[in-house]
Chain A
Amino acid sequence: MSPLTRRQSLAALLQAIAVVPLSASFTHAAETPSRIVALDWAGADCLLSLGVTPIGVGDTEGYRTSVVEPALPGEVPDVGEATAPNMEILQRLRPDLIVISPWLANKPLLNRVAPTYEMQIYLQQRDPFTSAEAEVRRMAELLGVAARAERFLSEAGLTLDAMTLPSASRQRPAYIAMLLPDGRHASISTGNSLASAVMGRLGLRDAWTGTPSPWGFQFSGIERLGENPEATILYVDQGLRTTKAERLLARSRVWQALPAVKAGRVARIAPFYLFGGVNAGLRFAATLKHHFESQEP
C-alpha cells in the first residue's frame, strides 16, 4: 500500500467528519443488490430460499436454534442483535442492501450504511403466510431471480398440498399455544398468526373465537383454552419452560377441567419460528402432519 498523499488524507478526513458517509450515498445507483445483510430472520429465510447467501445475519446463533431451516452456512458472520446491530461490522461488510423488520430496526441509522428493505409479513392486511409468499416474489424481483421465486413457491405449494391431514383431525379446530412456566397463563394464537394461516391452508380451523390481536398471539389465562369445547390444544415445545408448565398444570383443576384435556386432545408439538417466513410455515405444517398422523390408530 502506497503512503497516502496529502490530498487523499484530507479527503479521508473530510469523509470521516461527514455526517453521511460517502459510500452510502452512492449505493442507490447500484441496480441489483448482491451484498445483502439480513437483520430480520424471515428475511434471511427468504434470501436463502432464493439461493442468495446473505453476507451477514443478525444473531446467527439465535437463527440456528430458532429458525433452523433453511440452514445458514457456517461462514456467515454475526452482525449482532437486530435492534442494535454492530454498525462497524456492518460498515466493514459494505452491504448494498439491509433487510430489516420494520418495527425492530433503526432505519435512518442503517440507511447511512446501505438502503434498507422492510419485510412486510406481519401487521399487514392479509394473513402472514400469503404475505410471506408475496415477500418472496417482491424480493426476487429486486434481486432479478423471479424464476427462482416461482420455482420455490410452487414447490412450497406442492409440499403443502401434499400434506393432507387425516380427515378426522380436520373435523376439530385447534388452539396453538405456548404454556408459560407459571402454570396459569398461556400465549394463544389468535387467528392471524403464521400458524393459523398455515392451518387454514391445511384445512384446519383455528379454535380461537375472540378478537384477533395484532401480533397473532395473546397472553391469557389458561381457562380461555376451554372456550371452544370441540378443540384440540397443541402447545409448542419450549424446553424447560414447557416442562415446568406441564408439571404445574398436572395439578391444576382448571386445566384438568378443560374439555380438550378431559378428552385427551392435548399434545406438545415441535417448535417453529413464530415470526418467520415461508419455510417456518412449512416446518409448522410438517409438525402438524406428523402430530396428526401419529394420532391415527
Chain B
Amino acid sequence: MTACTVPRPQRTVAILSFSVLFVVAALLSSFTAKLLFTDPLSILISWWNGTDVGDIKQTIFVFVHMPRVLLSILCGAALGLSGAIFQHFLRNPLAEPTTLGIFAGANLALSAGAVLFPSLAVLGQETIAFSGALILSGIISFLLFRREQSASDILIFGMMLTLVASSVSAIVTLLNREYLANVFIWQAGSLYQTNYNGALFVALMLFLTASLVIMLRNALSLGVLSNDVARGLGLPVEATRFIGLTMAGILAAAVVSVAGVIGFLGVAAPAIARLTGARTTGSILLRSALIGALLLWMTDQANLVFSHFVVEVPTGAVSALLYAPFLLFLAMRMRNRDLVPRPVSFPVHLSRGGAGTKPAFLLLGAALACIVFTLSVVWTAGGLAIDLSPNLLAWRWPRIVAVAAAGALLATSGLLLQCVSRNPMASPEVLGISGGATLGVVLAIFIWPAGGLFGAPIGFAFAGSLLSVAVALGLGARGGFAPDKVILLGVSLNVMTTTIVTILLATGDPRTMVLLTWIAGSSAGATAEMAIGSTLALVVVLAVALCLLRPIRLLSLDTGVARSLGVSIRPTNFAIYGCIAVAATFATATIGPLTFIGLMVPHLARGSGTLLGSNLFWRCALLGATVLVLADWCGRNVLYPWEIPAGILAALIGGPYFMISKLLSARTSQGGYLS
C-alpha cells in the first residue's frame, strides 16, 4: 500500500480534525435549516408531537430536508468505506467507484435501458441503475480478484467505460429527442429525496458491509501482506478478495441507485484518512467512512446555501469537482515503486524479414478502394447510387479526406502512446486531449452569446486540447514522463470536463444538443482547410515517428535500457508525446473526442504478427483511415437521411472490442496484451 511519508500525527490530532469537521458540518446544517425553514426547531417539535400544523413546510422539512441530510451522511460513509475497501484489495490508492467505472455501468444501464428496452422502465430508475452498477462491479471482481493490476490499467478500464457510457447516452439523446431529464439529473448526482426509502436502503447496505468487515477483520489485516505470504499464513486470498470487492461494489451500487453519481469521494476520504495518520487496515476503513460522511454532509449543506443564493447545482457534480483534484494530487505523489511493473508487451526483436515485413500494399489498396467507394456511392431516396455531381463532391471530399486523415492520426498516436507508455490499453482518449477539446467546445457554445458562433467549436476544440496537452506535458515532464503518471494526469483532466458537461446537461439548456452532437463526433462540418491541415499533420507525425523508430523501440522496452543505449530520454519523450498530442488534437477537431480508433487499430494491425517497425506504422495509419472512412460512410447512409456521427459508430465498435479484449486478457496470467 502507499505508505505516507508525513510524520505520524498523534491520535489527538485525528480526533481534533474530526471534531472540527463535525462542528463545521453541524453549524452549516443548522444555518441552512434556519435559512430555508426560519424556525426548524418548532417545526420538528410540532411534527414530533403529532400536530399537523397544516403547513407544507412541515412536510418538506420532515420528508425532503431531513432525508437529504441523512442520505448525505449515509452516502458519504458508504462511498468512503467502499473506496477504502477497493483501495485495500487492489493496493491502489486511486481505486474507487468512479474511477473503476461502476458509476459508468449504472449510467450505461440507465441511458441504454431507457431507449432500447422502454418496457424496462416499469422497474424504475433505481432498480436499473442498481443492476447496472452491480453487473459492472461483478465484472471488476471477476477481473481483479485473482491478480493485481497496475494502477493505470484499472483506471483506464474505468475511464474507457465512463467514456463509452457518455457516448451511448449522447447518441440515445440525439436519436430520440426524448427528454432524458431525469437521467441527466441522476448523472449529476442529486441527494434530493421525498421519503426515507433511499436512506434506509443505503443504511441497510452499510450495516451489512460493516458487519462483514468486522467479521473478516483478521483476514483483512493480513491483506496488506503480499499474496504469497498471506497464502502461506493460511489465508484464502482469492476468496477474501472476491468477497471484499463484491461488498465494496454493492455499497457503491446502492449509493448510485439512490443518489446518482457522486464523484471521487471514494478517493478523497481514504486519502484524508491516511493523512490523519491512520495506518492499520481497520482504522483506515473506519476513518474513511467517518470522513466520507462528514465531507458529503458538509458539501451538501454548503451546496444548499449556494443553491439558495446563486444557482442550483447538483451535489454529486460539486463533489466530483471538489474531490477530483485529490486524484491529481495522489497521481503526482505516487512513486514508481507503487506502480506495479508490467511485462514488456511488444516484441521488439529488430528482425528483418519474416512475417509482415513486406510493405503494406494490400492495405494501401484497400484504403484507396474505400476512399473511392465512399466518395462516389451514396444512399439516396431510390437506394444505393453512384452520384458524382460536382456540387455534392464539393461536400464529400473534404469530409472523407479529413476523416481518413483523422483515422490515420488516431491510429498512429495510439500506437505511439502504447509503445512509450508500455501500456497496451492506452489510447489518445485517456491523455486528456478529448477532455480539453470538449471543454473548449463547451466554452464556445455556452459562454459565447447564442448564435452566430457555431463555426468556432473547431477552433475552440483546438485551443482546449492544446491547453490540456500543455498541462499534461508540463506535469508529465515534472514526473519524469513516468508512463503511468502521464496517463493518470490525463484521466484526471478528462474527469473534470466530463463533470462540467454533466452539470450543463442537468440544467436542461437546449443548447446541450449541440454539445452532444459534437461529443458524438459528427464529421459533417469538415472543411477543405481541415482536410488539408489534418493531412499535413499526418505527414509530419508519420515522418517524426519513422525518424524516431529506434528510440521508440527502445523506450517500449524500458526507460533504463533506452538510456543505457544512448537515447536521451527527455527530448525524445517530448518529441513523441508532442507528436501524439498534435495527432490527437487534429483528429479530435474533425471527428470528436471519442472513437477508440487509437486503442483498437494498433491491436488489429499487430494481429498478423507485425513487429514494431516502420511497417507497423504504415499498417496502423492505413487501417485507421479505412476503418474510420467506412464508419463515416455507414453513419451517413444507414439511417438515411439522418446521420449517425462517425465517431460514435467507431466508439460503439471500439468500446466493446476493448472490453472483450480486456476480459480475454484477464484469463491469461500475463499482463494484458492480446496476442
Contact = CB atoms under 8 A, between A and B. Distances in A.
B454 interface: yes
A103 B446 CA distance: 10
Interface stretch (A26-34, A193-201, A217-225, A284-292): A217-225
Given A80-B643, A215-B509, A254-B194, A88 B378 contact: yes
A123 B186 contact: no
B517 A215 contact: no
A60 B529 CA distance: 33
Chain A binding surface SS class: mixed
Interface string A151-179: 00000000000000000000000000010
Interface stretch (A42-50, A131-139, A142-150, A182-190): A182-190
Interface in A8-31: 12-13, 15-19, 21-23
Size bin of chain A's contact surface: 35 or more
B643 A86 contact: yes
**Which size class do B's interface residues fall under?**
35 or more
Contacts of B454: 105-109
B174 A257 contact: no
A86 B181 contact: no
Given A62-B177, A182-B182, A253-B195, A240 B121 contact: yes
A181 B60 contact: no
Contact of B641 (A16, A80, A185): A80
A83 interface: yes
A78 B643 CA distance: 12
A84 B392 contact: no
A87 interface: yes
Interface string B385-401: 00000111111110000
A237 interface: no
Nearest to A56: B641
A145 B636 CA distance: 37
B510 A229 contact: no
Interface string B500-528: 00000011111101101100001011011
A138 B182 CA distance: 38
B508 A91 contact: no
Interface in B158-203: 174, 177, 179, 181-182, 185-186, 190, 192-195
Contacts of B524: 84-85, 87, 106, 109
A259 interface: yes
17 contacts: A13-B390, A16-B394, A81-B642, A84-B645, A88-B396, A102-B451, A123-B450, A185-B190, A215-B508, A215-B510, A218-B508, A253-B63, A253-B195, A254-B195, A257-B56, A257-B59, A257-B63
Interface of A: 12-13, 15-19, 21-23, 59, 62, 77-89, 91-92, 102-109, 118, 123, 178, 180-185, 187, 214-215, 217-223, 226, 229, 238, 240, 244, 248, 252-255, 257-259, 275
User: Nearest 10 CB-CB pairs, A to B?
Assistant: A102-B451, A108-B455, A257-B59, A12-B390, A16-B393, A16-B390, A180-B182, A254-B194, A83-B517, A182-B182
Given A17-B397, A218-B508, 9 more contacts: A83-B517, A106-B455, A108-B454, A182-B125, A221-B192, A244-B122, A252-B194, A253-B194, A257-B63
